[in-house]
């Protein structure tokens, strides 16, 4: 059975959000995001579609076109799938394992069973809609078995896979009771993409150590080689799968769509600063509320600087915007409680009536408003313990074409591989966090020219390697893999 779509993107989520009206009717609006922006032109040029979960439990709308014309094929998930496949195996097993065990992963056989079932359902939907010889691009850790299942169902397809989160070292990955199945699932692809060369290296070392009962590959993978020009460089290696196919493994650092943030608006920026009491220095954090992002620790570092008198609460404010995320999972609830306690404590100690020193928003903001905050912020604070890339850091840099501002960035964010001129820090070390914060604040005061040239260099990097460059390089290599 096959459909007539020449290009199929498969992701856990469709690029749509449901709006339920007062009569219980549902309409769908397109959710903005770099991936959607980068893939829309490819989807329309190649007669493509997107397969994924629409985001509502048990919702199974018929295929439809989004506002910008993307054809979407919904895959329904039940409450049980959501609990065991999504919250369980994807976000309480794989997420902490792939983020270097910041919390302990939970291994449950029935979650794994659900992960396999749901991956099978996604793959059969792709089988139904993909034209003979179509190209399929599978996204992220929730769907690592889809390439292997599809390879069995549809040997005619060209299959790419991209992992948006880090890939851990083999010693960590080998904890996973179902490690052989996951490796075999990934090796069903023709091209496996990671953000960083170090992620690709971890995967290549792993496949040398792990082989399934049927064997997932033969021989040793070759080592990574850099090819291409400066603007479309790729680092690729190849593995021979057990069926004799060559599987390419490569690194493509994802980036942002700089136009998606809208135009600069100095009046709005002045308004945002005024709302905050026109402080001398605004520090900003913008994250999903996830324990990997290091929000609590950055607030504690800020608190210690206030306590020591290194920062003056009459002159600085910290704005932390945190999108609610995965709130039914215990570790996420704990992370939220700890952040909110810290905000309350710091304000209790250092704020004045009507002048909080930490402004905390637990919600998502429209991109336009986010842009105003990015523009208004003197110091952007991005301090994850581990992050595949971190688009927030790149969005901030993109909003400062004049070289204003400063970026404090964790050395464990993928973005640190490219944004070399940031004030880098080790988020596990509170002294390192404090040093980087102070260097950024004082650098802006005492050495603005150096800070400006550092921001300008990062701005050029982000604008040159945008999300289009990422998608083009990945899809070019996928086409190449097919040949």
Span 242-281, contacts to ligand ADQ by CB under 6 A? 254
Q: Is 473 in the site for ligand ADQ (CB under 6 A)?
A: no
Shortest distance in whole angstroms from residue 197 CB to ligand ADQ? 16
Distance CA 34, CA 258 (A): 9
Q: Is 164 in the site for ligand ADQ (CB under 6 A)?
A: yes
Q: Which of 203, 146, 169 is nearest to 97 (CA)?
A: 169
Distance CA 221, CA 233 (A): 20
Q: Is 323 in the site for ligand ADQ (CB under 6 A)?
A: yes
Shortest distance in whole angstroms from residue 342 CB to ligand ADQ? 18
Which tokens in the block code for residue 439? 């260097």
Q: Is 12 in the site for ligand ADQ (CB under 6 A)?
A: no
Which tokens in the block code for residue 304? 């210690």
Show the site string, 413-452: x = touches ligand ADQ by CB under 6 A, - = not.
Answer: ----------------------------------------
From 21-29, 86-94, 178-186, 386-394, span contacting ligand ADQ (CB under 6 A)? 386-394
Span 142-161, contacts to ligand ADQ by CB under 6 A? none
From 3-11, 46-54, 391-399, 423-431, span contacting ligand ADQ (CB under 6 A)? 391-399
Shortest distance in whole angstroms from residue 292 CB to ligand ADQ? 7
For residue 475, how many C-alpha atoms fall within 13 Å in the half-sphere facing its CB? 19
182 and 144 in contact (C-beta within 8 Å)?
Answer: yes
User: In a 10 Å sphere around its CB, with 0-12 CB exposed, 13-18 middle and 19+ buried, how is residue 61 labelled?
Assistant: middle
Grouping H, G, I as helix, E, B as strand and the rest as coil, residue 77 is: coil
Distance CA 99, CA 387 (A): 7
Look up residue 110 and give its DSSP letter: H
Shortest distance in whole angstroms from residue 92 CB to ligand ADQ? 16
**Which of 365, 438, 457, 463 is the binder for ligand ADQ (CB under 6 A)?**
365
First to last CA, the chain: 24
**Which of 181, 300, 395, 418 is the binder for ligand ADQ (CB under 6 A)?**
395
Q: Is 192 in the site for ligand ADQ (CB under 6 A)?
A: no
266 and 260 in contact (C-beta within 8 Å)?
Answer: no
Contact residues toward ligand ADQ (CB under 6 A) are: 164-165, 254, 286-288, 321, 323, 364-365, 370, 387-392, 395
């Amino acid at each position: 059975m096959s459909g007539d779509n020449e290009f199929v993107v498969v992701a856990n989520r469709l690029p749509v959000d449901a709006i339920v009206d007062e009569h219980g009717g549902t309409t769908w609006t397109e959710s903005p995001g770099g991936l959607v922006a980068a893939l829309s032109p490819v989807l329309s040029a190649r007669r493509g579609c997107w397969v994924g979960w629409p985001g509502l439990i048990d919702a199974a709308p018929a295929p439809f076109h989004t506002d910008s014309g993307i054809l979407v094929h919904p895959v329904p998930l039940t409450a049980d799938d959501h609990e065991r496949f999504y919250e369980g195996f994807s976000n309480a097993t794989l997420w902490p394992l792939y983020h270097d065990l910041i919390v302990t992963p939970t291994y449950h056989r029935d979650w794994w069973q659900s992960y396999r079932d749901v991956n099978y359902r996604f793959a059969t939907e792709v089988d139904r809609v993909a034209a003979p010889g179509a190209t399929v691009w599978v996204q992220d850790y929730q769907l690592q078995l889809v390439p292997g299942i599809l390879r069995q169902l549809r040997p005619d397809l060209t299959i790419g896979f991209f992992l948006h989160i880090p890939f851990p070292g083999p010693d960590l990955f080998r904890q996973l009771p179902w490690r052989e199945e996951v490796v075999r699932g990934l090796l069903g692809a023709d091209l496996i993409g990671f953000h960083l060369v170090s992620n690709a290296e971890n995967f290549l070392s792993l496949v040398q150590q792990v082989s399934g009962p049927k064997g997932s590959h033969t021989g040793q993978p070759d080592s990574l080689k850099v090819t291409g020009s400066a603007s479309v460089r790729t680092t690729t290696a190849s593995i021979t799968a057990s069926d004799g196919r060559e599987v390419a493994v490569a690194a493509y650092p994802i980036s942002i769509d700089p136009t998606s943030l809208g135009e600069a608006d100095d009046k709005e920026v002045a308004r945002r600063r005024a709302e905050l009491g026109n402080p001398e220095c605004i520090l900003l954090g913008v994250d999903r509320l996830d324990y990997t992002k290091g929000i609590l620790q950055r607030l504690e570092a800020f608190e210690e600087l206030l306590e020591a008198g290194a920062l003056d609460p009459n002159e600085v404010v910290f704005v932390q915007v945190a999108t609610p995320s995965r709130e039914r999972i215990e570790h996420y609830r704990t992370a939220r409680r700890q952040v909110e306690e810290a905000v309350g404590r710091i304000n209790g100690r250092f704020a004045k009536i009507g002048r909080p020193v930490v402004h905390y928003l637990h919600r998502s903001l429209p991109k336009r408003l986010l842009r105003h905050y990015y523009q208004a912020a003197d110091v952007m604070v991005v301090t994850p313990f581990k992050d595949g890339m971190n688009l927030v850091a790149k969005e901030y840099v993109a909003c400062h074409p004049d070289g204003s501002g400063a970026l404090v960035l964790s050395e464990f964010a993928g973005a640190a591989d490219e944004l070399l001129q940031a004030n880098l820090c080790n988020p596990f070390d509170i002294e390192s966090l404090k040093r980087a914060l102070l260097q950024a604040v004082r650098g802006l005061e005492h050495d603005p020219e150096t800070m400006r040239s550092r921001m300008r260099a990062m701005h050029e990097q982000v604008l040159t390697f945008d999300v289009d460059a990422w998608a083009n390089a990945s899809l070019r290599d996928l086409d190449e893999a097919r040949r």
